[in-house]
A and B are shown apart, each in its own frame.
Chain A
Amino acid sequence: MSNKLIDFQNISKTYGMQTVLDDFNLYIRENEFLTLLGPSGCGKTTTLRILGGFETPDAGRVIFDGKDITDLPPNKRQLNTVFQKYALFTHMTIAENIAFGLKIKNKSKQYIHDKIKYALKLVNLDGYENRMPDSLSGGQQQRIAIARAIVNEPKVLLLDEPLGALDLKLRQDMQYELIRLKNELGITFLYVTHDQEEALTMSDTIVVMNQGYIQQIGTPEMIYNEPENAFVADFIGESNIISATMVEDRLVKILGVNFPCVDEGFGQNKPVDVVIRPEDIDLLKPGEGSIDGVVTHLIFKGVHYEMEVMANNYEWLVHSTDMFPVGTQVSIHVDPFDIQIMKKPESEDEEAVNIEE
């Protein structure tokens, strides 16, 4: 995981009046599972299409394995795409679908035959050679689309929300399948999704995007535990995002109450945003914690209870395995390392601005 396999350099793309990507920079290392994560319409597919060769950037270069491929047509690029809605060839059998790329490259009959067998085994669909795509379920079609791509031994596999059309159970199974595939094949994955859980489960690196700008790049743990701004915190999982004041290093005033924390370097008496994950809040007896309040909502979620606690005019979202009925007087406690401090954006616009890498 060292050298840059793919390097987007200063990519810009505009459709009519709409700027989708503006001076976009990102590199992907060899064997990395990198996920572009962001809300619908933030430019994920556009980024993928530029790498696949289906879209030409207005400015900037795409470097692949040290070579500039910006002007190369899709069929000359050593990467393969798994499209959002499978895009199988409905007039061909499964075997013909998988053989498509190999036949174009004039591989021998024996080689193609072996590859089809191998790929179908890999995606757990042995024996489906002579079926037509229409006779397969969505999950099966998606696996064929993956098989069709990987038999070409691409250096990079691009996947555009490949699990988007599947139901929850199947989606979770496929997530494990993809991780397994990645480990078995040792190729680089560029994955696109708007589903934060999917991104957290599978990725080595997550790139959080909003309106064409990168918000944060990091490992799933970093993105979840140390979101760099309110957008990331809000997008990744549920959280309490509260305006606060950084009194001094390692002390933050939240809703008028001083909380010890572990962050430094924000200056004195500076406005900040704090993020506190619902599962990081402990509910104690009144008077024992930092802020007293009362439970206003209670929902059983299976693994935990979800509660809302009204304290100092703020509805705190709390996840706990202990149950506190509505009306219970409680006190909120947060450990210092569970408080994540973020620089406040100076204006609304800045919320969508490119961060420094």
Chain B
Amino acid sequence: MKSKRLLAGPYLFWSVSFVIIPLLVIVYYAFTSDGGTFTLANLSQITTPENLKALGISLLLSFISTLVCLILAYPLAMILSQKQVNQTSFIVLIFILPMWMNFLLRTMAWQTLLEKNGVINSILGFLHLPALEIINTPYAIILGMVYNFLPFMVLPIYNVLIKIDPNVLNAARDLGANPVQTFLKVTFPLSIPGVISGITMVFVPALTTFVISDLLGGGKILLIGNVIEQSFKQNSNWHVGSGLSLVLMIFIIASMALVAKYDKGEGGTAF
């Protein structure tokens, strides 16, 4: 028993030094002023009009991105789950391959593609079609988020779908349900745990990203992630940055708790 506990040592060391301590540091900075005295001013920074706007846009864009991911990922996961195993692994590979490329590179590639005189517009111009002007707009940011986070939606849904016993679906058909009814009453409810994991895994990084908005929003659209990044790097104000981070963290925890509660009500087991 004791030796087994020792095996957890490396992980404990890791999480104490790189998760718990930094977290405590953030909490410390969030609640103190430059002089080191206790203050709530950093937290209330979130209520300035610019920051509220950034938070609002962040919530809106990540909500839309999550929704788009879900709409794209669900049918894809269904198709994948119905294929034979060896076929699937090849398709999954093709699908996962981009994930092996650096996130930054992929996003910069989109920047090049979408630019005013970028690849896409050159082709469109060549075909005498109107140019696409979405770079530096919220649309480009949504595109970047969906592109980068889609696999995180597909995989958990795919994982729950392949675990559904085909005879459970056959049973639904057997009892008179047509394919649409079978999906609505059996397949989808049984896949909810995967959907919730997917939503979590897309929504959280989308809400906190600053790289995508930097590269594809051209610095014109500030997300809450950008605001936090700027307080740390440009303004060198760790206190405000930590305060905003803490508020964002509370937002995420609250929304996850909400999702988890809904999930429990459905009898699923995402967490």
- Taking Cβ atoms with an 8 Å cutoff, the residues of A that contact B are 52-54, 73-75, 80-81, 83-85, 87-91, 100-101, 104-105, 132, 148-149, 152
Q: In whole Å, how far is A154's beta carbon from the nearest beta carbon of chain B?
A: 9
Is B98 in the interface zone, CB < 8 Å from A? no
Q: Which residues of B contact A54 (CB under 8 A)?
A: 170, 173
Stretch at the interface among B8-16, B175-183, B216-224: B175-183
Question: Given contacts A54-B170, A85-B165, A132-B267, are A152 and B175 in contact (CB under 8 A)?
Answer: yes
The verdict on A75 contacting B174 (CB below 8 Å), with A89-B186, A104-B181 known, is: yes
**Residue of B at shortest CB range from A78?**
B176
- Could you say which residues of chain A place their CB within 8 Å of the CB of B267? 91, 132
Contact: B174 with A81, CB < 8 Å? yes
- B190 x A101 contact (CB < 8 A): no
Residues on B facing A (Cβ under 8 Å): 165, 167-168, 170-178, 181, 185-186, 189-190, 266-268
Which B residues are in CB contact (< 8 Å) with A74? 170, 173-174
**C-alpha gap A54/B165 in the complex (Å):** 14
A74 vs B174: C-alpha distance in the bound complex, in angstroms?
5
Q: Please give the distance in Å from A251's CB to the nearest CB on chain B.
A: 54
Main secondary structure of the interface of B (DSSP, over half): helix
CA distance A75 to B185 in the complex (A): 14
A152 touches B176 (CB 8 A): yes
Complex-state Cα separation, A90 to B172, whole angstroms: 12
Q: Is the CB of B175 within 8 A of A91?
A: no
Contact B177 A104 (CB under 8 A): yes
Report chain A residues within 8 Å CB of B181. Answer: 104
Contacts of A90 in B (CB 8 A): 168, 190
The answer to whether residues A87 and B173 also contact, given A100-B185, A104-B181 and a CB cut-off of 8 A, is no
Contact flag A87-B176 (CB < 8 Å), given A100-B185, A104-B181, A132-B267 = no
Residue of A nearest to B190 (CB): A91
Q: What are some 7 contacts across the A-B interface (CB < 8 A)?
A: A52-B170, A84-B167, A88-B168, A91-B189, A100-B177, A100-B185, A101-B176
Q: How far is the CA of A302 from the CA of B237 in the complex (A)?
A: 87
Most buried by B among A73, A88, A100, A152: A100
Say whether B176 contacts A105, CB under 8 Å.
yes
B174 partner residues in chain A, CB cutoff 8 A: 52, 74-75, 80-81, 149
- A53 — which chain B residues lie within 8 A by C-beta? 173
Complex-state Cα separation, A305 to B213, whole angstroms? 84
Contacts of A105 in B (CB 8 A): 176
For the complex, give the distance between the alpha carbons of A80 and B177 in Å: 12
Which A residues lie within 8 Å of B189 (CB)? 91
Inside 8 A of B176's CB, which chain A residues have their CB?
A: 75, 101, 104-105, 152
Q: How far is the CB of A64 from chain B (nearest CB, A)?
A: 14
Inter-subunit contact A83/B171 (CB<8 Å): yes
The residue on B at minimum CB distance from A134 is: B267
State how many angstroms separate the Cβ of A331 from the closest Cβ of chain B: 55
Distance to closest chain A CB from B90 (angstroms): 19
A53 to B165, CA, bound (A): 17
Chain B residue at minimal CB-CB distance from A151: B175
Beta-carbon contact of B165 and A75 below 8 Å: no
Q: Please indicate the chain A residues that have their CB under 8 angstroms from the CB of B177 in the complex.
A: 75, 100, 104
- Shortest Cβ distance from A85 into chain B, in angstroms? 7
Q: Which residue of A lies closest to B181 (CB)?
A: A104
Q: Which residue of A lies closest to B267 (CB)?
A: A91
Cβ B172 vs Cβ A100 within 8 A = yes
Q: Is the CB of A75 within 8 A of B178?
A: yes
Question: Cβ of A85 and Cβ of B175 under 8 Å apart?
Answer: no
Q: Select which of B167, B173, B186, B266 is within 8 A of A75 by beta carbon.
A: B173
CA distance A89 to B170 in the complex (A): 11
Contacting residues, chain B, for A87 (C-beta < 8 A): 165, 167-168, 170-171
- Chain B's nearest CB lies how many Å from the CB of A62? 15
Which one of A84, A100, A132 contacts B175 once the chains associate, using CB atoms below 8 Å? Answer: A100
| A132-B267, A148-B175 given; A81·B170 CB < 8 A | yes
